[in-house]
Amino acid sequence: MSYFAGAQDYSERLTTENKSFKTTSGTVVNATVGSLTVAENRINPDSENIAVQFIQLKSTNSEPDVPLIYLEGGPGQSCTWQAEDPYYLERWLPFLEVSDIILLDQRGTGAGSERVLYIHQKGIPMDVLANEAVRKSYFEEMGQAALADFEERGVDLHGYTTLESAQDIDDLRQALSYDQFSLLGFSYGTHLGQAYIKYFGSHVKNAVLIGVEGLNHTFKLPSAMDTQFQKIALMAQADPNVNQAVPDLMDLYQRVVRTLDENPAEIEITSPLTDEPMSVKVGSFGLNMILVIDIGDASDIPVFPRLLYSIDQGDHSLLQWFIQKRIGGFYGAHGMNATMDVASGASTNRLARVEEELAISPFQNILTAMMDTDWPHPDLGEEFRAPLVSNIRTLFMSGTLDFNTPPYQAEEVRWGFSNSSHIIVNNAGHEQVFTHPEAIPTIIRFLKGKDVNDVALSYPPLEFIPVKGSVGDLSHPSIQSSE
């Protein structure tokens, strides 16, 4: 049986209701709130049905262009909640002057749809962030418990792949009786958007891909993290807020790692499960986890020299803030997130390169853990991961400080796109490209059919937070919470 279904009757599978939402400025936006019933696994004839949620925000244009469908990141993130958040809804108003906007939740996500989310009810071991064997044993135990829970509830994990999500998009297109969409994808949403282009490209008018993850980019190259950290070290070396106390950030990092491995930091945080105080030990694994997860976000990068310096001085207050921020990921398993990533996988050549680079990366302990492929999954295959060739009019956008989806990934994908532009936002991290003040006007220009090759976007150079003493006019929540 094929992943891709033929003509279908959607009348009994589509449910909708009219609703209105209000932005921060008081603007009322009319919308259609709906859900589409789809098979959980289209290649399993005995699969159960699940609901995919969407909200279609109505255009203010009397002659709107084809709808623009928004594909959120993750995998595992929903976006329909943005219609109910006045701040986020305000951001969509300029787009509504062009066309309808469809906010589409990924399968298995969204309010009332978290079918593949498992919350582990046991407390985490105290040294899960310091002892590799303990961490591995804990996650194996939690993974087995999650799989048992999914099996008991009849969840078919093999249905949670990017190809199934691409088919969801096209099922929705047909259900709403549209011949074409335009696509706006962010992060993982660009991966899903490329899959839709590969298999349903005739139904795409324009594509905007922000923070590009290609079809063979799911497993990150360790050299990308290594390069990012070295680049930040050079930037810190040139900043007077850092360089006098920390002339060599790489040297400081290596010293801190050795210290944490010899004598892990013991900090107190609040359990996300019980809301009670708990103690955890943090070794190099815990520190590397923070760096790898957050070093692609330009809002956190300026505080990293102070974080390392404070640990070196025996002050763990900033480390405590970051661990509190990320500890929730140790209390559950998202079957959709895990299955999507390992099903997309990586080509044999990319896996070999990753393994080679891991051997020399200072971040190999966390990067190896993040590549765990023991989770049961289908393999979407080499044809899925093969380079994508398209003549669809496409705008790529990247940030120079984005480790998660660095600009060279967009260029690699763009090589196969004959009708494309690439805007690289200087000093932007993963989360800052779309929020640049000129990003939305530029995207709208593009959607209106105009050339955007003359656009150059940039943020001011990063200003690092002083590694000690007063931070002056600068700020970061990790410091505010510790003072």
Question: Does 228 reside within a domain?
Answer: yes
Same domain for 305 and 421, yes or no, is: no
Q: Answer yes or no: are the C-beta atoms of 71 and 189 closer than 8 Å.
A: yes
Considering the domain architecture, whether residues 391 and 315 belong to the same structural domain is answered as no
Does residue 362 sit within a domain?
A: yes
HSE-CB of 35 using CA atoms within 13 angstroms: 14
State the CB neighbour count (10 A cutoff) for residue 243.
Answer: 16
CA separation for the pair 292, 363 (Å, rounded): 8
Q: What confidence tens digit (pLDDT) does each residue in 150-166 have?
A: 999 999 999 999 999 99
Q: What is the pLDDT of residue 480?
A: 67
User: How many structural domains are present in the chain?
Assistant: 2
CA 238 – CA 235 distance, rounded (Å) = 5
Q: How do residues 257-305 score in pLDDT, each as one tens digit?
A: 999 999 999 999 999 989 999 999 999 999 999 999 999 999 999 999 9
Residue 481 has pLDDT above 60, yes or no: no
Q: Are 95 and 60 a contacting pair, CB within 8 Å?
A: no
Is the pLDDT at 71 greater than 70? The verdict is: yes
Q: Please state the three-class secondary structure of 178-247 as a single string.
A: CCCEEEEEECHHHHHHHHHHHHHHHHEEEEEEECCCCCCCCCCCHHHHHHHHHHHHHHHHCCCCCCCCCC
* pTM score of the predicted model: 0.95
Same domain, 289 and 396: no
Question: DSSP letter at 390?
Answer: B
Flag whether 4 is in a domain. no
pLDDT at 4: 59
Q: Are residues 69 and 168 in the same domain?
A: yes
Specify the higher pLDDT residue, 374 or 479.
479
172, 32: one domain: yes
Over residues 169-198, the mean pLDDT reads 97
> Does the pLDDT value for residue 313 go beyond 70?
yes
From first CA to last CA, the distance across the chain in angstroms is 60
Residue 409 lies in a domain: yes
Instruction: Render pLDDT for 29-46 as a digit per residue (tens, 0 to 9).
Output: 999 999 999 999 999 999
Residues 22 and 93 grouped into a single domain: yes
Residue 9: band (very low, low, confident or very high) from pLDDT cuts 50, 70, 90? confident
Lowest mean pLDDT segment, chosen from 40-44, 118-122, 400-404 = 118-122
Residues in the chain: 483
Give the pLDDT of residue 3.
59
pLDDT at 370: 74
Is 402 part of a structural domain of the chain? Answer: yes
Name residue 68's beta-bridge partners: 101, 182
Asked if residues 287 and 448 have their Cβ atoms less than 8 Å apart, the reply is no
Residues 132 and 208 in one domain: no
Say what the pLDDT of residue 112 is: 72
The span from the CA of 59 to the CA of 304, in Å, is 43
Answer whether 106's CB lies under 8 Å from 78's CB: yes
CA–CA gap between residue 93 and residue 64 (Å, rounded): 14
Closest to 73 measured CA to CA, from 395, 371, 433, 361: 433
Domain that holds residue 72: 14-114+161-215+387-447
Q: Name the 3-class secondary structure at 159.
A: helix
- Within this chain, do residues 129 and 258 fall inside the same structural domain, yes or no? yes
Give a yes or no: residue 2 inside a domain. no
Q: With 50 as the cut, is the pLDDT of residue 428 above it?
A: yes
192 pLDDT higher than 80: yes
Going by C-alpha positions, the residue among 79, 60, 81, 59 that lies closest to residue 68 is 59
CB atoms near residue 274 (< 10 Å): 10
Q: Is residue 33 part of a domain?
A: yes
- Is 373 a residue whose pLDDT tops 80? no
Which residue(s) pair with 32 in the sheet? 18, 56
Query: What is the rounded distance in angstroms from the CA atom of residue 4 to the CA atom of residue 388?
Result: 18
Residues 367 and 439 placed together within one structural domain of the fold: no
Please indicate, yes or no, whether residues 248 and 354 belong to a single structural domain of this protein. yes
Whether the per-residue pLDDT at 483 is higher than 70: the answer is: no
Angle, helices 222-237 vs 348-358, to 10°: value is 50
List, for residues 237-261, the tens digit of each pLDDT value. 999 999 999 999 999 999 999 999 9
Q: Note whether residue 322 is domain-resident.
A: yes
Which pLDDT score, from 0 to 100, does residue 72 have? 97
Q: Does residue 452 surpass a pLDDT of 90? A: yes
Give the confidence band of 1 by pLDDT, cuts at 50, 70, 90.
very low
**For all residues of the chain together, what is the average pLDDT?**
94
- CATH number of the domain bearing residue 429: 3.40.50.1820
Whether residue 372 is found in the same domain as residue 405: no
